[in-house]
Chain A
Amino acid sequence: GAGVSQSPSNKVTEKGKDVELRCDPISGHTALYWYRQSLGQGLEFLIYFQGNSAPDKSGLPSDRFSAERTGGSVSTLTIQRTQQEDSAVYLCASRAYTDTQYFGPGTRLTVL
């Protein structure tokens, strides 16, 4: 079946602009996660959605970052007023009822 998909695969933006990154989880998966991967910081958790519960936002690095999940499926991660330190690969993962998370291919964000 289809895996987790993310779009765009690459995004280049200018400092100060807003960006939106999209994640389509595996159909039927109730949990959805955003992580980011950068050379300096490794793999960091950002935010977690589980069903209809309030999201766990404990990993968001600043209030410039936000995410929503519509209809329990697609999720959008928004970064406002992007900074150069936001450059990273943003990964989305989804999970069903087991403990295994399945990752998408990521969106590589470059802030000039």
Chain B
Amino acid sequence: GNSVTQMEGPVTLSEEAFLTINCTYTATGYPSLFWYVQYPGEGLQLLLKATKADDKGSNKGFEATYRKETTSFHLEKGSVQVSDSAVYFCALNRLIGGSQGNLIFGKGTKLSVKP
């Protein structure tokens, strides 16, 4: 079956600290992998994605690399800002006969960045 396991929070960091949020997955086939972010009071937004092994997704200083050998897609940022405070969700898309299906999400990691 398909599942996503991500680091449970909450995570509290000081501004300019290094961030890693771990995400591992099990999947049938080779799905695309995603990080979505939910800022306080807002909806889910795509942060970055990777569609095949060894691809690196990046956006807003965040990066994640699709690692097939370790079935991981860890999110990293070198220097977090207060504005990065949000809930982060790792996800994969369930493949149905090779076609795109629904997303399967991890439970989310709440990040708080203190000034």
Using CB atoms and an 8 Å cutoff, list the residues of chain A in contact with chain B: 31, 33, 35, 42-43, 45, 48, 50, 56, 59, 91, 93, 95, 99-106
CB distance from B65 to the nearest CB of A (A): 17
CB distance from A41 to the nearest CB of B (A): 9
- State whether B89 touches A43 (Cβ < 8 A): yes
- State whether B43 touches A104 (Cβ < 8 A): yes
Using CB atoms and an 8 Å cutoff, list the residues of chain B in contact with chain A: 32, 34, 36, 42-46, 49, 51, 89, 93-94, 96, 99-108
The residues of B that contact A45 with a CB separation of less than 8 Å are: 94, 102-104
Q: Which of A59, A100, A104 contacts B102 (CB 8 A)?
A: A59
- State whether A101 touches B103 (Cβ < 8 A): yes
Instruction: Name B32's closest neighbour in chain A (CB-CB).
Output: A99
Measured CA separation A49–B34 after assembly (Å):
21
Query: If the complex has contacts A31-B100, A48-B101, A56-B96, are A42 and B108 also in contact, measured as CB distance less than 8 A?
Result: yes
Measured CA separation A61–B36 after assembly (Å):
24
